Amino acid sequence: MQIISKAQDLPPTELAFVPTMGALHAGHLHLIATARKHCPTVLVSIFVNPKQFAAGEDFASYPRPRDDDLHLLRQQRVDYVYLPQALDLFPTDFQTYVHNRAGSEMLCGLQRPNHFQGVLTVVLKLLLTVRPQLLVLGKKDYQQLVLIKRMLRDFSLPIAVIAATTQRYEDGLAYSSRNTYLTPAQRSQAPLLYQALRAAEKLFQQGERNSEQIIAAARNIIASSGFSTDYLEIRTQADLAPLASITAPSVLLVAARLGDTRLLDNIELG
């Protein structure tokens, strides 16, 4: 495995790219395995992007277990790991940002107004540097996935995207680098989020198509289990438009807090 810190040392071959912020877990390993299936060469970046954290969020405390991450990447036989320096990506006079106004002013964007601008900007910079043919992203950050796909389309970037399924612990909790923030008591509550989504999915599978009815099934479980809900909504898979009745492939998305820890999850319906 080669470690690269300068853009000019990046490989020229057919390449799958997995962008990460490190603190790697089974979800990331699944992204890497997916990339490997489709491309001979796999490059993973690790960069805790300051532009996607607001003041008061967890940028400083975000886990950075660099040695463990590199060890895991070596075990996965990743070909290249790109560890950009913050000043290389964002010099002090950096001015230009990518902003999808419609896509950022909903769901997670309501609580984190500049988050997706930071995500899209860093992903575009990474893509222009790495120049992959394939980008592998996880479905757990569904809004991020939809907005990045939209950016590629709007900017006519010839990069294919594979969306990999969310990886879960046996009890259903989705893997996330932020799970380490949960206290033992919160960790035992956390799987209820996915159980709530599954209850809603069951209703959908039984033929219910009214979004409010389906959401209510999940809301009852989430409300009774100590979460405070930021949003619980059904949106289209294609562009996250609201859907009163499920007439198109859709996704039930939730963001909810246990104490200070904000958990995201979702389940596709239809």
**Which residues sit at the interface with ligand PAF, rule CB under 6 A?**
19-21, 49, 52, 119, 122-123, 141, 144
Q: Residue 78's closest CA among 47, 46, 43?
A: 43
Q: Are strands 2-4 and 228-236 parallel, antiparallel or unpaired?
A: unpaired
Residue 59 or 248: the one with the smaller Cβ distance to ligand PAF is: 59
Which of the residues are catalytic?
28
C-alpha to C-alpha distance for 150 and 268, rounded to whole angstroms: 19
What minimum distance in Å lies between the beta carbon of 230 and ligand PAF? Answer: 17
Residue 44 CB coordination number (10 Å)? 28
In the complex, what is the shortest distance from the CB of residue 252 to ligand PAF, in angstroms, rounded to a whole number? 20
State which residue, 41 or 176, has the beta carbon closest to ligand PAF. Answer: 176
CB of 258 to ligand PAF, least distance (A): 20
- Nearer to ligand PAF (CB atom), residue 143 or residue 211: 143
**CB-wise, 21 or 255, nearer to ligand PAF?**
21
Closest CA to 168 of 236, 264, 37: 264
- Single-letter residue type at 226: G
- How far is the C-alpha of 17 from the C-alpha of 136, rounded, in Å? 6
Distance CA 244, CA 205 (A): 17
State the nearest-atom distance from the C-beta of 125 to ligand PAF, in Å: 10
Which residue is it, tokens 């853009």? 7
